[in-house]
Amino acid sequence: MNDNGDAEDPVIYIVIGRVWDHEEGTTETATPVHVLLKGADDDDAVRKTLEALTAKGFVEAELDQIGVMDGEPDDPTYEAAYEDALTGNVAVITFAELQAIAERDSPEFDSLEYDSTAESGNEPRR
């Protein structure tokens, strides 16, 4: 709580990285991911991110950046994930064809998959 009695906005982290569904993956076989979630601190957010990625079947992950969301996102790609994160789920957004799109210099993603996993360890839901 702050001094005027209003509840503080929850802290929603965004973790950016790459994942592989097989061991010894290369840069070319990586799937870029953005993960949105609530966490007590950076370490907690990283731990929950790795647990959620493992639950989704990824065997390797490289986490490149972590930050805090500054309010609700304007980008529709993140709106549902942000709402899920507010409810306590770990929301994973995968960009399956980012490499091909970058090569074509297209600003749009052809393949976007969004999923969330409850912190309780339940199966991912769609």
Q: Convert the pLDDT of each residue in 68-82 to its tens digit.
A: 999 999 998 899 999
Question: Alpha-carbon Rg of the chain, whole angstroms?
Answer: 15
Model confidence at 121: pLDDT above 50 = no
Q: What is the mean pLDDT of the chain?
A: 81
Domain map (residue ranges) of the chain: 12-118
CA distances (Å), origin 27, targets 12, 19, 31, 47, 123: 28, 10, 9, 23, 28
Distance CA 38, CA 91 (A): 10
pLDDT, tens digit (0-9, with 9 covering 90-100), for 12-55: 999 999 999 999 888 889 999 999 999 999 999 999 999 999 99
Distance CA 16, CA 66 (A): 6
Question: Contact 60/4 with Cβ under 8 angstroms?
Answer: no
Distance CA 37, CA 55 (A): 15
Strand order of the β-sheet with 31-38 is 60-68, 12-20, 31-38, 89-95, 112-118
Q: Residue 86: CA atoms inside 13 Å, Cβ hemisphere, count?
A: 12
Q: How many CB atoms lie within 10 A of CB 53?
A: 23
Provide the pLDDT for residue 8: 73
Largest Cα separation within the chain, whole Å, is 53
